[in-house]
Structure 1
Amino acid sequence: MFDIGFAELVLIFVVGLLVLGPERLPGAVRTVSLWLGRLRRSFTALKNEIEREVGADEIKQQLHNESILANLKETEDSLKDSFSSVEKEFRSTQSDLQSLEYDISGVVKPGADESPDPDKPSGAEPGEADRKSS
């Protein structure tokens, strides 16, 4: 509170000793220390009352919460950006796969490779025709 060093304290003591004398100095020091204690307590009480009225703790808590919410919002935006880029990549890959599927289905049609065998009756398994002819 008061920035008084040791040298200043000794100077005050010597001046007090010269002005008040050795008989009244201890009582004066006691009185001054009591008044300083009361003054400190008054300032502390006033400070606490002002902080309560202003709601400094609530404001600090609110600022802390707002900073946390801002961090969460940044994280959410970052995750949304990442998700949208992954989704775009997925859509692109899906589109490429569908075009490849269309190209492959145009080149190779299922069942087009197999030509009907005249010796093989329709609906019969390959081993049945050989068994009937033997």
Structure 2
Amino acid sequence: MFDISFWELFLIGIVALVILGPERLPGAIKSTVSTIRSVKNMASGFKSEVEEQLRVHELHENLKKAEELGLDNVSPEVAKSVEELKQAALSVQEPYKKNKDDKQHD
């Protein structure tokens, strides 16, 4: 990622020691490490979110293909995507059906 040699890193450490002093240098290192970790975590979260959105987009495209083909002669991959979408739609509708049934009984 970064092309930093040992001597460059050593020079940065010496400059940081002179500027910050021995009292504040450990705190600065801890702060820098925690910042780098939080940036990495944020980047991995963003990456997983993008991957999930791409998967949803692919499922949506497969559903469009299935609708165009009339849901009869579709590939197994498209049929699987359609089935996943049907299951997701049913799971979303279940709470509303329960609430609707409860209101009808009242």
Task: Tell me the TM-score normalised to structure 1 length.
Answer: 0.38
Choose between structure 1 and 2: higher helix proportion.
2
User: Relative contact order (alpha carbons < 8 A, sep ≥ 6): 1 or 2 greater?
Assistant: 2
Question: Greater CA radius of gyration, 1 or 2?
Answer: 1
Task: Tell me the TM-score normalised to structure 2 length.
Answer: 0.47
